[in-house]
Amino acid sequence: MLADQPPKQVEPRDRVLTDDKLAAVMNIQGSAWYTMLQFILLTGIRGGEVCNIRWEELDLGRGARNVLRSTMKQGKPHAVPLSNAARKIIKLQLEQNSGGWGPYVFSLGSRGERPFNGRSTGIEGVRRLTETTDRAGHDCRQTSNAFRQRIGIPRGVRLRITEHALLGDGASAYEHHDFRMKTQEAVEKLADGLERIRQAKPAA
């Protein structure tokens, strides 16, 4: 269980947002790109991948994004756990974009028929409001990964969430289930920590 106070801030590194900037990103609203940056912080998924996420990849009942075998370096399918906060973002997209929406979750001007391609315009808005860099998506991914380490999530679990490590073929069903529970707990812990930062530093 996390304490009621935000986690202690560590020394900032390149491409890792300070708590002030992190809170600013978590608080901004008004465009799909802002929402996508928040989704990146919650999941650690690469910005380019978020732009291309399809509805068919998402299992909201299980709380996971199913990464296709063809996109994984190991050539194996992989399920990325989604926190309740990340699922809430997806559900809001579903509610707002119902009725004739295409295969892509995030889109701009094509009603989901094409992947989101408004990052250049969105980045300018983010820079103006939060003073983040022009690589906002990458910065949020780096921040998400660093934040997991900051709040004490074990390395093996962090790697599993970010698709950098998979269990061996000989792992038992129990081991798979146990790891699934650990990764789900980890993404909820991340979401709780980000929410505490957001509330501690509300938008002006």
Distances (CA, A) of 18 to 109, 119, 147: 32, 22, 11
Mean pLDDT of the chain: 78
Question: Residue 29 above 90 pLDDT?
Answer: no
Q: Give the fold, CATH level 3, of 19-200.
A: hpI Integrase; Chain A (1.10.443)
pTM of the model: 0.80
How confident is the model over 56-81, as pLDDT tens digits?
999 888 888 887 654 444 445 567 88
Percentage of the chain modeled with pLDDT above 70: 71
Distance between CA 90 and CA 56 in Å, rounded?
Answer: 12
Q: Which of 115, 157, 122 is nearest to 137 (CA)?
A: 122
Distance between CA 12 and CA 19 in Å, rounded?
Answer: 9
Report the pLDDT averaged over residues 11-36. 81
Give the strand pairing for 78-81 and 58-59.
unpaired
Neighbouring C-beta atoms of residue 78, cutoff 10 Å: 17
Q: Which residues contact 43 (CB under 8 A, 6 or more apart)?
A: 50, 65, 80, 82, 83, 86, 144, 187
Q: What pLDDT score does 175 carry?
A: 41
168 vs 198, higher pLDDT: 198
For the chain, the domains span 19-200
Question: Residue 195 above 90 pLDDT?
Answer: yes
Percentage of the chain modeled with pLDDT above 90: 27
Among 4-8, 97-101, 106-110, 145-149, where is mean pLDDT lowest? 4-8
